[in-house]
């Protein structure tokens, strides 16, 4: 008996799922999806019952009618791709990111001031970690231009770079924003780079002139909005407690009607009492006309008046599934659907992402606060404890390496055996800090939900690839353009 014939196999790290009546596996070590044909399915079933030797697997496949040569080839292929393994299942450690990772996205917090006082906002609420005492409230022109120069220099050979404007309320510093767009276009052209722009706003300050500017300059817009009046006015309020729906509704309608060059997205924060996901979606998508609507449950450090109860969270998840089924239904008819929580995950599955870090924060993306301090992302803007340097002197490599090594999925013990880690990688650094006081901690409070959601999106992916695969190709092309 040679070494191969006696080799005992077991399943590698994989997550089986079904879609469109076909069987698939999600291969965790590669972040890749494979459809199982009859022979591969038999092999997986056999090994999920017990470890089996090479010879016994061959015998079983041959007894089921597969030629021995084909059975040998199949086992060899599955072994090489680590679908099946011998010895310890082990993990293929992810490579460390390269020491000099060129910057792609700069999130410019052009002000930390806001004309609303949303009761859950991380700028004002329990999740606040910024320490702007004594620091600038509005970014000035010199800092803004230095930030653009920093992006040009730090993006090395990248031909496309992205600037996203954030606040506070971004439009409270609109004159600066206009100036940055002109300066970045000019500087980008001199460096042979295309600069793409986007912003997040609460929409209260939109005017026809601003909308025209955003449209002419092809600036992507995300509006923070929580739904119809009874939802929006619960927590998205002015300082005197007045709701903001009546102010934002006509402005958003004007934005959607007159911003002709980019899709307009709504981002909804779910809090206690603001959990009617389907009602909110219908209002924002069908009544108001947003192109995409995405939802995120609020990040909170502890029990607050706006924390969603466990029971309500289960109900939120149920509604997510209903909208996800609609998304699939549309995709099978070749139509797009605006529920961006599915679109974003499907986009990542198509790319085959296998993340070392949950997001680009501190890696291909950094934030810059009004003071010019660099942070891992906009949520850490001007928080001294999380500063990664200043745009005048550049990134402090030691601090950046510390942030990145703590946030690497390999450093998160609980994630080592989790099949969802290629997409999750432990979750948002900011949320981890708020919950656990450490940006490198895995967000263990939402693992069940992440795995449930990832599985749902895998099933959607599988069903589309079985029934209407051209949709996935077109979807990938569209995503590449946005």
Single out the segment in contact with ligand SF4 by CB under 6 A; choices: 10-18, 131-139, 256-264, 357-365. 357-365
CB atoms under 10 Å from CB of 181, counted, come to 21
| Contact between 94 and ligand SF4 per CB under 6 A | no
Residue 426 near residue 442, CB atoms below 8 Å: yes
CB of 70 vs ligand SF4, minimal distance in Å: 36
User: For residue 22, what are the β-bridge partners?
Assistant: 19
User: Tokens representing 400?
Assistant: 């950046």
| Contact between 359 and ligand SF4 per CB under 6 A | yes
Single out the segment in contact with ligand SF4 by CB under 6 A; choices: 20-28, 80-88, 161-169, 439-447. 439-447
DSSP state, residue 27: E
The one among 443, 457, 461, 462 contacting ligand SF4 by CB under 6 A: 443
Task: Write out the DSSP string of 64-122.
Answer: TT--HHHHHHHHHHHHHTTSEESS-----PPPPPPSSPPP-EEEEE-BS--SB--TT-T
Residue 275 near residue 314, CB atoms below 8 Å: no
E strands, 239-384, where? 264-270, 292-297, 365-368, 373-375
Alpha-carbon gap, residue 396 to 76, rounded angstroms: 47
User: For residue 274, what are the β-bridge partners?
Assistant: 271
CB of 457 vs ligand SF4, minimal distance in Å: 13
Total of chain residues touching ligand SF4, rule CB under 6 A: 23
The one among 442, 457, 463, 464 contacting ligand SF4 by CB under 6 A: 442
Spell out, one character per residue from 395 to 434, where the chain touches ligand SF4: x when CB under 6 A holds, - when not. Answer: -----------------x-xx--x-xx--x-xxxxx----
244 versus 443: smaller Cβ distance to ligand SF4: 443
Which helix (H) or strand (E) is 347 found in, with range?
helix 340-351
| Contact between 447 and ligand SF4 per CB under 6 A | yes
314 versus 445: smaller Cβ distance to ligand SF4: 445
Alpha-carbon gap, residue 364 to 378, rounded angstroms: 13
The one among 361, 374, 383, 464 contacting ligand SF4 by CB under 6 A: 361
| Contact between 377 and ligand SF4 per CB under 6 A | yes
- Residue 6 backbone dihedrals phi, psi, to 5 degrees: -95, 0
User: Tokens representing 4?
Assistant: 């191969």
CB of 144 vs ligand SF4, minimal distance in Å: 21
Alpha-carbon gap, residue 369 to 356, rounded angstroms: 26
The one among 42, 251, 355, 379 contacting ligand SF4 by CB under 6 A: 379
CB of 376 vs ligand SF4, minimal distance in Å: 6
Helix (H, G, I), strand (E, B) or coil at 264: strand
Residues within the interface to ligand SF4 (CB under 6 A)? 358-359, 361, 377, 379, 412, 414-415, 418, 420-421, 424, 426-430, 442-444, 447, 450-451
């Amino acid at each position: 008996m040679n070494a191969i014939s006696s080799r005992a196999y077991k399943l590698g790290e994989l997550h089986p799922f079904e879609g469109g009546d076909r069987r698939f596996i999600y291969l965790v070590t590669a972040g890749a999806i494979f459809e199982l044909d009859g022979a591969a399915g038999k092999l997986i079933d056999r090994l999920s019952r017990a470890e089996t030797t090479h010879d016994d697997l061959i015998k079983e496949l041959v007894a089921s009618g597969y030629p021995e040569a084909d059975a040998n080839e199949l086992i060899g292929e599955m072994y090489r791709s680590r679908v099946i393994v011998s010895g310890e299942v082990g993990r293929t450690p992810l490579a460390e990111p390269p020491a000099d990772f060129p910057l792609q996205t700069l999130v410019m917090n052009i002000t930390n001031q806001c004309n609303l006082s949303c009761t859950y906002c991380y700028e004002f609420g329990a999740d606040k970690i910024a320490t702007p005492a004594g620091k600038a409230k509005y970014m000035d022109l010199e800092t803004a231009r230095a930030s653009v120069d920093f992006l040009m220099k730090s993006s090395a050979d990248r031909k496309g770079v992205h600037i996203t404007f954030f606040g506070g309320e971004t439009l409270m510093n609109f004159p600066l924003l206009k100036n940055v767009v002109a300066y970045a276009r000019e500087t980008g052209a001199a460096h042979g780079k295309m600069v793409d722009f986007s912003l997040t706003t609460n929409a209260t300050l939109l005017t026809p002139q601003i909308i025209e500017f955003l449209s002419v300059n092809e600036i992507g817009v995300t509006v923070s909005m929580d739904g119809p009046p009874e939802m929006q006015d619960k927590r998205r309020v002015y300082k005197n407690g007045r709701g903001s729906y009546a102010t934002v509704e006509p402005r958003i309608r004007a934005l959607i009607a007159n911003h002709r060059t980019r899709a307009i997205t709504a981002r909804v924060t779910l809090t206690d009492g603001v959990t009617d996901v389907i009602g909110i979606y219908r209002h924002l998508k069908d009544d108001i006309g947003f192109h995409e609507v995405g939802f995120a449950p609020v990040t909170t450090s502890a029990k607050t008046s706006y924390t969603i109860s466990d029971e309500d969270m289960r109900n939120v998840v149920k509604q997510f599934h209903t909208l996800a089924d609609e998304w699939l239904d549309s995709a099978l008819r070749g139509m797009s659907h605006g529920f961006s929580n599915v679109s974003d995950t499907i986009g990542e599955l198509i790319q085959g992402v296998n993340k070392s870090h949950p997001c680009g924060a501190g890696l291909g993306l950094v934030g810059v606060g009004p003071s010019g301090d660099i942070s891992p992302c906009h949520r850490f803007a001007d928080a001294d404890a999380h500063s990664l340097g200043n745009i005048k002197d550049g990134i402090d490599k030691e601090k950046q390496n510390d942030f990145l090594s703590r946030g690497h999925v390999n450093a998160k013990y609980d994630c080592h055996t989790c099949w969802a880690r290629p997409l999750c990688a432990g979750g948002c650094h900011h949320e981890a800090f708020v919950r656990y006081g450490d940006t490198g901690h895995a967000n263990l409070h939402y693992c069940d939900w992440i795995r449930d959601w990832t599985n749902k999106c895998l099933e959607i992916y599988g069903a589309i690839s079985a029934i209407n695969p051209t949709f996935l190709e077109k979807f990938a092309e569209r995503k590449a353009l946005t």
